[in-house]
Amino acid sequence: MQGDVTITTPASAEYVHILRVVLAGILAANDYTIDQIEDLKIAVSEAAAQLLAMPGGTTLSLGVEESNGDVRLRLTCDAAGQAWPPPDVERTFSWQVLSALADEVHFRRAQGDAVLELTSRRSGGN
């Protein structure tokens, strides 16, 4: 199954499980293992919690790009004007968790939105 999927919800913790379910469906259709699926679901919860901790966001979206066993998750929140990435993010416990769950972790700003990008390679350490 090729192609990108993006789902947008209100920026509220109650919607995060919907993002998890959508992600699990995409990964299942691409023959990811239960271990990988569960890991990336945990990663989505952790990443979403980081984004939702910023005040002022109205929407939270998850983009999933899967190709040849690599999956890129892009979580975006439109909370503008806040400190993002969080100070010293690479030294936080959350970073440790995210980088154990995905092969690459990037916090950045894109067009004013706060973005957290996670890349997981099927052949990678997970």
Which of 28, 67, 106, 109 contacts other proteins by CB under 8 A? 28
Distance CA 70, CA 103 (A): 10
Question: Which span sits near other proteins by CB under 8 A: 1-9, 26-34, 59-67, 113-121?
Answer: 26-34
Is residue 36 a contact point for other proteins (CB under 8 A)? yes
Closest CA to 76 of 19, 122, 21, 120: 19
Which of 1, 4, 12, 33 contacts other proteins by CB under 8 A? 33
Is residue 94 a contact point for other proteins (CB under 8 A)? yes
Query: Shortest distance, CB of residue 32 to other proteins, whole angstroms?
Result: 7
Which of 49, 67, 68, 110 contacts other proteins by CB under 8 A? 49
Contact in structure between 44 and 52 (CB atoms under 8 Å):
no
Residues in Cβ contact with 78 at an 8 Å cutoff, skipping those fewer than 6 apart: 11, 57, 58, 59, 112, 113, 114
Is residue 10 a contact point for other proteins (CB under 8 A)? no
- Applying CB under 8 A, the residues found at the interface with other proteins are 17, 20-21, 24-25, 28-29, 31-39, 41-42, 45-46, 49-50, 53-54, 86, 92-94, 96-97, 100-101, 125-126
